[in-house]
Amino acid sequence: MIRVVLPHHLRTLTGVDGEVLLELDGQPTQQAVLDALEERYPVLRGTIRDHGTKKRRDFIRFFACGRDLSLQPADEPLPEAVASGSEIFRVVGAMAGG
């Protein structure tokens, strides 16, 4: 079970209160988590990564296990602690603007 926490504005957009729990087949990767997230909540398409290129939006970052995973290749396996559900995969909006 993958545990995902969304930033405030995406929680209000999806109506999610708290963590999103995702069941994934096989080795979880950033891409697999985001695919499953968008499948569950289609409104998230285009808000975390670009519709066409799947590139992460500039002011979005991914954190887990105390590390910034944003620049990690999207098809690279996520840490075991994320895969096992002991650590949360966090989608974070950059602290910028007002």
Residues that bind another protein in the complex, under the rule CB under 8 A: 7-10, 12-13, 43, 45-48, 51-52, 57, 59-60, 93-94, 96-97
Taking the complex as a whole, how short is the minimal distance between the CB of residue 85 and another protein, in angstroms? 26
d(CA 76, CA 79): 9
Nearest Cα neighbor of 31 from 2, 66, 65 is 2
Taking the complex as a whole, how short is the minimal distance between the CB of residue 43 and another protein, in angstroms? 5
Identity of the residue, 3 or 56, whose beta carbon is nearer to another protein in the bound complex: 56
Q: Is 15 exposed, middle or buried (0-12, 13-18, 19+ CB in 10 A)?
A: exposed
Identity of the residue, 47 or 87, whose beta carbon is nearer to another protein in the bound complex: 47
